[in-house]
Amino acid sequence: MSTFSAVRFSLIIGVLVLLGASLATPTHVVAQDVASLTGVVTDTSGAVIPDVHVVLLDTKTNAKSETTTNSVGAYLFTKLLPGPGYKLTFTKEGFDTLVVPSLYLATNTVHTQNARMEVGQVAVSVEVKGAGSAVSLDTSDTSVSTDFDMNMVHQLPLQIRDNPAGLIVYEPGVVDVGAGSSSDSNDSRGGAVAGSRIDQNNVTLDGLDVNDFGTGEAFVVSGNAPVDSIQEFRGETANQLTAEGRGSGAQIQLTTKSGTNTWHGGANEYNRVTATEANTYFNNLIGVPRTPLIRNQFGANVGGPVLKDKLFFFFDYNGRRDDSFVSTENFVPLDTWRSGQVGYINNSGAGSNGAGTCSPSSRANTTPGCISYIANTVPNSNGQTLTNLDPATLGLNTALQTLIVGSGNTSGRYPHANDLGVGDGINTGGFRFNAPARLTENDYVTRIDYNLSGKMKLFGRFSILRQYTDDDINYAAPIQWLGDPVTHQIVDTTYSYVAGHTWTISSTKVNQFVYGETRAQLNFPTKNLSPSNFITYGFNPVTNPYSSQAEQGRIVPIPVYRDDFTYVRGTHQFQVGGTFKPIKVEDHTLFDLDTVSVGLGGNVSGLVDSQRPVVPNDRQNPLNILQDNTAGGLPADAVTDPLPPGFGTHRSPLSWDA
């Protein structure tokens, strides 16, 4: 076979595959964030009426679409802008004119509006009442879906107003177990739809892919879609159509509002304050006040004509300010350790108040008689000190002690424990505090619609997000200790743009082309570290004195090229189209690999003195609480090692310079 014949054969096969796909496609326009209108016109006897002139008028913009009924009395309008305010008129010589006002066309849905015309004069107009926004049964497919008009969206509970997609949790088949659920520790079902994984959901805005490819979270819109900028919202949860989406989960289509021939606008503010919040159980238990939360969500929008009947604009601004705190807890040295004493569980059997038996689970706050202490230079009842337990006889490391409690005008890194119910209860406890976690968000959405003619329509939208969030998502809190400046933040500077062209070639042929890109830009900077050049190290069994120096960021551009062609012949509709998304992810990560871990790590209560390793090179490391505790002896009355995990050092596999 020649090269030319092979190419021709491949093209023929490709055309046949596309034709087969189009024949298998259900009989309505899909996955385009547009609406369709169809119906059959009959007379009073039920006989179909061909050649009826049908006019669909968008009363908001005076955009007009016209067609005639075919031989079986059917008509079809496709690629319509979703929303309210459509007027449908049927005229034919020998019949009264029939008018159906106030039609509401939902996004990605076929609205069926049949008509029955009576014999009479064209000059006589019959108006059908009550057809308004009543949703007709869509019998063209078997998908399970809900169309939310914005009146419904405003009435349903929606805590955060930068994205209405979260309302899909009210549809059947959607599972939301809640963040941190013990039954879903991997967060694989928090937003699962009809049994699919959460990353199988698909969200489009004006036909543009706005999914979060970075994390795959359910119902997240890259760049946001503020509620007051949305005209239509449709969610499908089962029996999705072949031309929709890229996964087996929910298919969500959002459509931005458009301007009209009349000026319209609005302003809003939603305020939530701490007075309506409840404290957590653990905060109440130890007397920590409830975490403050003051959330302001506000915005304004305006839309209207630039050129009457031709060019329209819409602009929406959405702002959010969260002055909030998150409850967090770190492990800190107990006061005995801060004063230079190391505790251990003795074998006195005294237990609590002289009763019970001491065991490895004994704690200073529950069985104080079971805990004995060794000071640096003052001998205990057995004549032992930290100095004489240290083979190097250097005793307490003053540099580390200064890091813990401070010196002179310099504050230590570790506060006093306020929660004795956590930690080992011998040398460490907990410090629970409310850490600031503030958020600043600004969303800008602009849309332009241009009616070039009765057959040509253009639209364009541009959205910008600027969001700065103190990072309590990737870290327990944005700060390491109370009083620290914000160290970790999430900076989201995502933007998106889309342009579309709809061409009504004839009453039976319509083509729509869309191009756009969602460019998700997220950075996770680390800042305000002091000192800025410290060596990162872990210090078991207490929380690290300084937070991680790691930084990362990613850019996920999602360009979309899409074209759909629809052809109607008789009662059949054929659709051919395609979507191309050349996604290329860019990311960066910055780690501090110059690290050292202080202590053996893990549980070393089972170690015995004769088997302790010797690490002579680390004896002079200034991070040890003792210069070397790897070969010391145990107190005579000790049940467990008096030097808890974390006393001593070992180096990371990568070399470091102290």
User: What DSSP line would sit under 435-480, residue for residue?
Assistant: EE--EEEEEEEEEEEEE-SSSEEEEEEEEEEEEEEE--SSSSSSSS
Q: What is the pLDDT of residue 15?
A: 40
Residues facing 426 on adjacent strands:
none
Residue environment code for 271-300, b if the CB has 16+ CB neighbours within 10 A, otherwise e? eeebeeeeeeeebeeeebebbebebebebe
Q: What is the pLDDT of residue 531?
A: 61
Q: What string of DSSP letters covers 540-591? A: TTS--SS----EEEEEEEEEEEEEEEEEEETTEEEEEEEEE-----EEEEE-
**From CA 205, how far away is CA 222, in angstroms rounded?**
10
Determine the average pLDDT of the residues in 61-68. Answer: 89
The residue among 458 and 388 whose pLDDT is bigger is: 458
Four-point Cα dihedral 238, 182, 473, 233, nearest 10: 20
CB 495 within 8 A of CB 223: yes
Q: What is the pLDDT of residue 601?
A: 42
Bridge-based pairing state of the strands 202-205 and 251-256: parallel
The kind and range of the H/E element at 153 are helix 150-155
- Residue type (1 letter), 335: D
567: CB partners within 8 A, 6+ apart? 508, 509, 573, 574, 575
Q: What is the pLDDT of residue 136?
A: 52
Q: What is the pLDDT of residue 495?
A: 96
Question: Which of 106, 29, 63 is CA-nearest to residue 459?
Answer: 63
302-350 confidence digits (pLDDT tens): 999 999 999 999 999 999 999 999 999 999 999 998 988 888 888 776 5
* 3-state class percentages of the chain: helix first, strand second, coil last, to nearest 5: 10, 40, 50
CB 358 within 8 A of CB 347: yes
Q: What is the pLDDT of residue 81?
A: 85
- Residue type (1 letter), 551: E
Q: What is the pLDDT of residue 158?
A: 80
Query: 178-181 long-range contacts, Cβ below 8 Å, gap at least 24?
Result: none
Determine the average pLDDT of the residues in 42-63. Answer: 91
Q: What is the pLDDT of residue 25?
A: 35
Residues facing 563 on adjacent strands:
513, 578
Lowest mean pLDDT among 109-113, 327-331, 474-478, 555-559: 109-113
Residue in the structure block whose two tokens are 């350790």 = 337
Lowest mean pLDDT among 151-165, 199-213, 446-460, 612-626: 612-626
Angstrom distances, CA of residue 262 to CA of 86, 305, 379: 15, 7, 89
- Find the length of the chain: 658
Confidence band of 144 (pLDDT split at 50, 70, 90): low
* For the chain, percent of residues with pLDDT exceeding 90: 31
**From CA 485, how far away is CA 303, in angstroms rounded?**
42
Bridge-based pairing state of the strands 264-272 and 251-256: unpaired
Confidence band of 128 (pLDDT split at 50, 70, 90): low
CB 179 within 8 A of CB 473: no
- Up-side HSE of residue 319: CA atoms within 13 Å toward CB? 11
CB 446 within 8 A of CB 303: no
The residue among 247 and 365 whose pLDDT is bigger is: 365
Confidence band of 534 (pLDDT split at 50, 70, 90): low
**From CA 258, how far away is CA 459, in angstroms rounded?**
9
Q: What is the pLDDT of residue 234?
A: 82
Question: Which of 406, 308, 355 is CA-nearest to residue 60?
Answer: 308
Determine the average pLDDT of the residues in 556-583. Answer: 87
Q: What is the pLDDT of residue 556?
A: 94
* For the chain, percent of residues with pLDDT exceeding 70: 75
Task: Give 299's DSSP letter.
Answer: E
Most confident of 52-61, 439-448, 566-575, 614-623: 439-448
**From CA 599, how far away is CA 405, in angstroms rounded?**
19
347: CB partners within 8 A, 6+ apart? 358, 637, 638, 639
Confidence band of 108 (pLDDT split at 50, 70, 90): confident
Judge whether residue 33 has pLDDT over 70: yes
The residue among 609 and 297 whose pLDDT is bigger is: 297
pTM of the model as a whole = 0.76
Q: What is the pLDDT of residue 520?
A: 95
Lowest mean pLDDT among 281-290, 309-318, 327-336, 598-607: 598-607
ω into 616 cis (within 30 of 0)? no
Is residue 200 helix, strand or coil? helix
Lowest mean pLDDT among 183-197, 228-242, 270-284: 183-197
Determine the average pLDDT of the residues in 112-132. Answer: 72
**What residue ranges do the domains of the chain occupy?**
31-127
Q: What is the pLDDT of residue 619?
A: 32
Q: Which fold has domain 31-127?
A: Immunoglobulin-like (2.60.40)
Is residue 484 helix, strand or coil? coil
Residue environment code for 339-369, b if the CB has 16+ CB neighbours within 10 A, otherwise e? ebbbbbbbeeebbeeeeeebeeebbbbebeb
Q: What is the pLDDT of residue 239?
A: 66
Q: What is the pLDDT of residue 604?
A: 44
Angstrom distances, CA of residue 409 to CA of 333, 396, 398, 400, 414: 20, 22, 16, 16, 15
Extract the tokens encoding 441.
């968000």
Phi and psi torsions of 249, nearest 5°: -90, -155
The residue among 109 and 313 whose pLDDT is bigger is: 313
**From CA 498, how far away is CA 487, in angstroms rounded?**
36
Most confident of 178-187, 512-521, 546-555: 512-521
Q: What is the pLDDT of residue 295?
A: 94
Q: What is the pLDDT of residue 296?
A: 95
Residue in the structure block whose two tokens are 């305020």 = 271
Angstrom distances, CA of residue 276 to CA of 83, 99, 291, 294: 37, 51, 11, 10
- Up-side HSE of residue 52: CA atoms within 13 Å toward CB? 34
**From CA 370, how far away is CA 356, in angstroms rounded?**
10
Most confident of 184-198, 386-400, 558-572, 631-645: 558-572
Lowest mean pLDDT among 58-72, 169-183, 186-200, 453-467: 169-183
Judge whether residue 281 has pLDDT over 80: yes
Task: Give 611's DSSP letter.
Answer: G
Judge whether residue 432 has pLDDT over 70: yes
Residue in the structure block whose two tokens are 């000192």 = 531
Judge whether residue 181 has pLDDT over 90: no
ω into 436 cis (within 30 of 0)? no
CB 51 within 8 A of CB 32: no
656: CB partners within 8 A, 6+ apart? 535, 594, 595, 596
343-387 confidence digits (pLDDT tens): 888 877 654 454 457 888 889 988 888 888 888 888 887 788 888
